[in-house]
């Protein structure tokens, strides 16, 4: 019986806990939240994760094979990529990476939500494109994480 209680407590901690990642400065975060058009012929990717299940889990995010960073609850990243091209945004999951393919247009910002989904053991992550209004509203409540640190 006590092993069942310990398992329930561990599961609850993983689902509701809070992971932390290195954060960008408040100024950098505020500047990114201005949602300025990307430079030149680039496109902008806002990749974010809000709270919810799996809060204690950190998950890597990659764009075209380049580490963007390790996410946690209530953080976002901003990355400029070449416009008018297809890009692959991926995140680690339980057993394999999950990918979102996105063809970008120049001078356009895109909003990609990383969300946790419960799986067989603990949980995995997935990605979905959200509309601009939803993306901006959610990112306004988040802080920007420092790019470039992945676990793998």
> How far is it, in rounded angstroms, from Cα 149 to Cα 36?
25
Has residue 149 been placed in a domain?
no
Has residue 27 been placed in a domain?
yes
- Strand ranges, E, within 29-108: 42-49, 59-63, 66-71, 75-82, 86-91, 98-103
The two structure tokens encoding residue 71: 């996410």
* pLDDT tens per residue, range 54-102: 767 889 999 999 999 999 999 999 999 999 999 999 998 776 679 999 9
pLDDT for residue 4 is more than 90: no
The pLDDT assigned to 16 comes to 42
Domain containing 12 equals 2-144
Has residue 110 been placed in a domain?
yes
pLDDT for residue 9 is more than 70: no
Q: What is the pTM of this model?
A: 0.84
The two structure tokens encoding residue 94: 């339980």
Domain count, the chain: 1
Has residue 152 been placed in a domain?
no
Has residue 150 been placed in a domain?
no
Contacting residues for 115 by C-beta, under 8 A, at least 6 apart: 49, 50, 52, 125, 126, 127, 128
Q: Look at the block and give the residue holding tokens 């910002």.
A: 109
Residue of higher predicted confidence among 65 and 10: 65
The pLDDT assigned to 119 comes to 63
pLDDT confidence band for 14 (50 / 70 / 90): very low
- Half-sphere CA count of 52, side-chain side, radius 13 A: 13
Has residue 103 been placed in a domain?
yes
Has residue 125 been placed in a domain?
yes
Of 99, 120, 111, 100, the closest CA to residue 50 belongs to 111
């Amino acid at each position: 019986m006590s092993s069942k209680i310990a398992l329930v407590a561990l599961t609850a901690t993983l689902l509701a806990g809070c992971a932390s990642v290195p954060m960008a400065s408040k100024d950098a975060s505020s500047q990114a939240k201005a949602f300025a058009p990307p430079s030149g012929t680039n496109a902008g990717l806002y990749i974010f994760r809000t709270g919810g299940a799996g809060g204690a889990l950190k998950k890597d995010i990659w764009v075209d094979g380049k580490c963007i960073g390790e996410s946690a609850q209530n953080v976002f990243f901003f990355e400029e990529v070449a416009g008018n091209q297809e890009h692959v945004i991926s995140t680690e999951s339980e057993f394999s990476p999950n990918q979102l393919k996105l063809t970008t247009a120049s001078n356009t910002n895109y909003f990609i939500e990383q969300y946790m989904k419960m799986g067989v053991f603990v949980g995995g992550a997935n990605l979905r494109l959200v509309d601009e209004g939803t993306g901006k509203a959610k990112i306004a409540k988040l802080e920007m994480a420092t790019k470039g640190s992945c676990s793998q």
